[in-house]
Structure formats: C-alpha cells, structure tokens
Amino acid sequence: MKKSLLIIFTVSILLFSIGIVSEVGYSAEKVYAEKEAAKPSYKNRSEIPEQYKWKLEHIYPNQQEWEKDIKKAIELANKFAKYEGKLIKSQKMLKKAIDDYSNLMRVHDKAYVYAHMMLDANSSNAKLQDLADRADKMSVSVRENTSWLSPEIAELSKKKINTYLRDESLTDYNYFISNIIRKKSHTLSKNMEELLAQSSPLASTPKNIFEMLTKDIQFPVITDKDGKELELTRSNFFSYLENDNREVRKKAFQLYYETLKKYQDTFAQTLGGEVKGNNFYAKARKYESAMEGSLISNNVPTKVYDQLIETVNQHLPLMHRYMALKKKMLGVEELHMYDIYTPIVQVEQNYISFEEAKKRVIEGLKPLGEEYTSVLKKGFEEGWIDVYPTKDKRGGAYQWSSYDTHPYVLLNYEGTRDDVSTIAHELGHAMQSYYTNNNQPYISSGYPIFTAEVASTMNEQLLWHNEYNSAKTKQEKIYLLNQRLENFRTTLFRQTQFAEFEKMIHEKDQKGESLNAEALKKVYKSLNEKYYGPVMISDEEIAMEWARIPHFYSSFYVYQYATSFAASTALAKQVLEEGETAVSRIRNNFLSAGSSDDPISILKEAGVDMSTAAPIEETMTVFKETLDELEKLLSEE
C-alpha cells in the first residue's frame, strides 16, 4: 500500500486527540446551550440530508463491484509473486515489474479505502466490519506477495541500474528506483524481508493495546461550581480545561491524570514495547538508531530532526514570555498546566452553519487562485465530504483517497471556529492528493507526512490571515492573535517537546536503561519544565501526559508537524506577498510533485529550504511579531 495513504488517514484521525489543529477554545459552560439549540442533531446516518454525506458510490456503485476488485487484487498479487526472480533481468522487464506492481496496488488501494471508509461512517455495522476485515486480509496477502520487489531491485549492480535509468521509458520511475538503491545497505535478504512483512501485525501490538486501554478506562464524574455532576471522558477532557471556572478545570485535570496514573505500569510497558520494537527493526536493518531508520527511510537527513530541537530550544524564552503574558491576562497568582487552555479573551461564539463555513474557507483560500478555489467548490458540491457526527461514526477528521478516486474528507462538524479551520486543513490534504494524482504516475503519487502537513497547515494560515484582516473589533483581533499563538504553542513548541521526549526514550532503551513508569515520568516532567519555563507551575500530574499521546506509537512522527508548520508559515507568507508567482511555484513544484523527488528537494523547489534552520528561525520571528502585536493591543486597553 502507498505509505502516504495510511499516513494521511492515521494522522488526521488523531489530530484532535493531541490538539494539533487548535487547543484554544471557548467556555463550554457559557455557550453550550446556545450552540446545541442552533446546530443540527442527527441520531443516525439515515436522518442526514444527502448533500452532507460523502458519495462512496463514486468508488463502487455497489458491493458486487467491490467484490470483483477484492478478488482481482488477490489474483494479481498471486500472479505477481510468481514473477519473483524473473522480471528485472532487463530494462524492459524492470518496467513491466513496476507497471504490474502499480496496477495491482491501484486495485488494492481502491478496495481498501472503500471498505474502511464505509465502516468509518457506520462503525457499529457488523456487515461493514466484515468488509473491512476482508480488506485487511487482502492487504496482508498483497504485502506478502510483493515484498520481494524492492530487495530484488536492490540486488542489481550499480552499472546495470545506471544503464536502466538512462532509458527514457523509465523516466517516471527514476526516483522510485533510485530510492530503493539508496536504501540498499538497509535492505535485507528476500527471506528476511518476507519475515519482517509477516511480523508487521506483531509490531502494531503496542499501539493496539494502547488504543484498547484508553478506550476502556473509565474516568470519574466531576462536580461543577453549581454542584452539577459532569461526566469526564477522553473526548471532552479539553472542553473542561477550557472552562472559565478554574476549579472545574483543576478538578478535571487532576482526576484525569490521577486515573491514568492507576494504569501507569501498563502504559509504561506498552510504550516501552513500542520503543523496543522500533529499536529492534532499526538494528535489524543496520541503522544506528530508530530515528535514523525512520528519517532516512523517508529520505530526510537526521540533522533536520536535531536542528529542529536545537533551534526551538534556543527560542524557548519566547515561549516563556508568552506564558508570562497568559498568567497576567488570566489574573492568577500562579499559572498551572490546567490554566493554559482556557481562552484569555472571550468573544461571541455563535454556531457557524456548514454553509457559512464553506464560504469562509473559500474566501480565506482565495489567495491560492481561482483554479484552486474552483476545485474546492467542486469538492463541497459533489460528495467529497462527510459532514455531521452520529453515534456510530468514527471521531475526528481526516482526508483519504486512492489514485483512482477523488479525495474524500471525513468531518464531525459541530459549528465552532476550530471546525472551520479543520475544514481548511483537511481540504489542504485533499487538494494535494487531487493535484498529485492528476500530475504523477501511480508510483510517485504518494507523499510522506513531511510534505503532507505543509499543504494542510498552509491553508489554516491563509484562513487565519483572512479572518484577522476581516476582524471588526479589537476584542476579536485579540482573540485571533491568541488563537495564532496557541497554534504556535501546540504545533511548533509542543510537538518539538514530544519529539525530544521520543528521541530521549529511544536512546535510553538503546543504552539498556529501564523505561519503567517512574523513568518516563521523570523525563517527561523535566522536558515540560524546560519548555514552559519558570513562570509555569509544572504540576505533578503532567508527568503522566505521555500516557495519553497516541502519536508516540507512530515512530518519530510528530516532529513533522513542527517542521511542516514552519514550512507552511513561510509558504503562506510568500503567497500573500508574491501572489500568482508563488501560487504557481507551489502548485507545480509542491502540490503536484507527490514523491517524484525527496521531500527536502520538493519543498526547496516550492520556496522553502528545510535542510537549514532558516525556516524555523523565520517562524520564530513570526511568533515574536504576533506576540508583540498582542501585547501592543492589550496595552491600549
């Protein structure tokens, strides 16, 4: 399966659980009743009007057609396995192998995506659960029957490869082939590659246990200031941290992490198992570390990771200054971790209808040109988006597609400002898929998370600029400035903190040190103190935060949110300042590029060089300017 296919799916589903899109919100207690009265509410999927549901019939008109592709994928996979050792003895045979692989994977992806999106919209449906299970089994069969291809290409001599690559018929496959050769020293024998492919379900065990454990944990009921009992859950935790009543958010914070602490040893064993697995696979493939294995396999130099941490650490005084401002605006004697999510300014938070949200997104993304917005309008009107939540619909938001379908976006729209931003974010993914699939052959149509999150966060940044320029009151400007600073905190600073934690615990395991609960808590709390600075009371409970972060079960993943945020900040600025010149460069060299080259080179062609610390430095300058502007507006009051 194309790597980007799963990456975009997984990343987007989990965005809200770690608070990437935005962790700033509103007082749930104050506006909840008004919002509930205004927004549509649907008990089940059949009640939702058709214009608000995605049209999966664009993929298959009925299940019978899907059945044909499931059967076809398995047949093609079995046939492909029979070519092992025979297909790449000449340039012509190599091309045939890649063409056959592409044709197989196009059928695979289409069938796999359809089954899982059907289930995501109706997760309690037993028949759809069976469809997804069958798609999973088909996928395992395909992986097992294609695992020989890369090792066999890697066995070709340098002379033969260079001869092949000079042939014009392989031009579209140059990067795909070169990338395999580049990883030759880390490619194992065919038997070992098959063994590792078969072990992939075992490698996902820690993640599966984490998901089941967090799903099964029951949190206590809390009591608000009026004595009303409120249920605390994983999904509503942040709404309580946003509450304008300090006792409510303090109580929610303490009870949440005290509950996690009861399971700290299980969480530690689970995360420790993930780390040990990552280090094992890295060692098996002869990488010096799991970080190197993760980054280099995606053709990203390890210095990008290290210089991100180093540069962000150098600018932590800016973060500390922001925390000091938060403390002042909240009017508290001590700033605690449970205080940082509550908004420092209140603005009217009326329900935003989905029709109004569409207008705001299209207006905000106008700087990307008429062609771009015309495709957005098509997506809104032609069944790309599944809008409203129901009880049996998967939570969160994501974009997913296959090469032979238009992009699809899953939302759980509730009518908040954050939800509008989420639409822009997921459509950034959708537009990158749209442009890539229309400009690249299958083999280079995927794209890694390193570039994927750039497109989505660039859209968010452009939307923010439009909202800020359209703000009618000083209060709204203060709110939007704080919202932007929160995006910096939660994406650039917070994800770098996560990245540094992940690096440290993998290094501890490599050295043979224990990753028990106390060791993990000590590392995490010390990092939290460093990132938030002396003004913050780093509450003991925060030492358990690592136990609720799902992205620690995706090896060396989160750093890309921070690098993407920096890259998108630079590109959004270029769009606003250069206009069509920048839009054309970004569309042709980035959005349409897929994996036709390494991600660093693709972004460099688009206008931002992530091989240097310059984009991080420039983003810190924007953070400082935003902080300056907020302080200036506040001083005028």
Contact between 351 and 39 (Cβ < 8 Å) = yes
Rounded Cα gap, residues 491 and 154, in angstroms: 38
Helix residue ranges per DSSP H, 471-611: 474-487, 494-510, 517-532, 559-578, 580-586, 599-606
In DSSP terms, 399 is beta-bridged to 409
Rounded Cα gap, residues 174 and 190, in angstroms: 22
Task: Residue count of the chain, please give it.
Answer: 637
Neighbours of 162 (CB within 10 A): 11
- Collapsing DSSP to helix, strand or coil, 19 comes out as coil
DSSP state letter for 217: P
The letter for the amino acid at 231 is E
Rounded Cα gap, residues 284 and 561, in angstroms: 28
DSSP of 546-565: GGG-GGGGSTT-THHHHHHH
Distance, first Cα to last Cα, the chain: 56
Contact between 449 and 398 (Cβ < 8 Å) = no
Neighbours of 89 (CB within 10 A): 11
Rounded Cα gap, residues 55 and 114, in angstroms: 11
Rounded Cα gap, residues 259 and 255, in angstroms: 6
| Closest residue by Cα to residue 22 from 238, 215, 211 | 238
Q: Tell me which residues are annotated as active site.
A: 426
Cα torsion 98, 589, 15, 409: sign: negative
Helix (H) or strand (E) holding 335: strand 335-336
- Collapsing DSSP to helix, strand or coil, 629 comes out as helix
| Closest residue by Cα to residue 553 from 304, 201, 278 | 278
285's tokens: 């493939």
